[in-house]
Amino acid sequence: MTLAAATATVAAADPHGFLSPTGVEIAFLLVGLVTLGAALVTVTTRQLVHAALWLVVALGGLAVEYLLLTAEFIAWVQVLIYVGSVVVLLLFGLMLTRAPIGRSPDADSGNRWAAVAVAVAAAVALVWVVVDAFRTTWIDLTGPAAGTTEVTGASLFRHWVLPFEALSVLLLAALVGAIVLSRKAKADAATAVPGKEGAR
């Protein structure tokens, strides 16, 4: 068998390529562009409520991307935790702190160009790491779902037990630290009030 025949056989056996995308890959690209646009609007708008609503669009777009990658469990976790909890908590925080509904000049920072440079550098590094790690890996989107609850749970608790537990300890430490800092702030405020009354 000649080299040309061997190359043709390999190409016929593996029809995937950047020049022959499938419908799912095109949908993935379009949803990714919408998600990227929503994320850019989230960090550039000066209206806090609009930023929170665009964040819903960005996180929902990520959930759709997970569904297109047959990771249905991760997609529903994304919807329930981030869209259903984090964004609602953010909106409640905006309402309880009486944040301005319209344009807020305080939402703009003078370090915009430094932030843009850091964001571009982080994006380039992330893309480089992902491309280098999955250079020739193709996900079979037409086969059985690879992101079901059973598969994800088995992979998580078989290969990622230590990072999972380390993250749990980190979150617990952050929760304890937040409680300690809030109690200290209340104690400082309680001791400062009698001093002011005595001065009067």
- pLDDT tens digits for 119-149? 899 989 999 998 888 777 766 666 666 667 7
Overall average pLDDT of the 11-23 stretch: 59
Name the residue with higher pLDDT: 42 or 151: 42
Alpha carbon 72 to its chain's center: 16
How does 69-95 read in b/e, with b if 16+ C-beta sit within 10 Å?
Answer: bbbbbbbeebbeebbeeebeebbeebe
Name residue 56's amino acid. V
| pTM, 2 dp | 0.62
Percent of the chain at pLDDT above 90?
16
Using CA atoms, how far apart are residues 86 and 33, in angstroms rounded to an integer? 23
Task: Give residue 116's identity as a one-letter amino acid code.
Answer: V
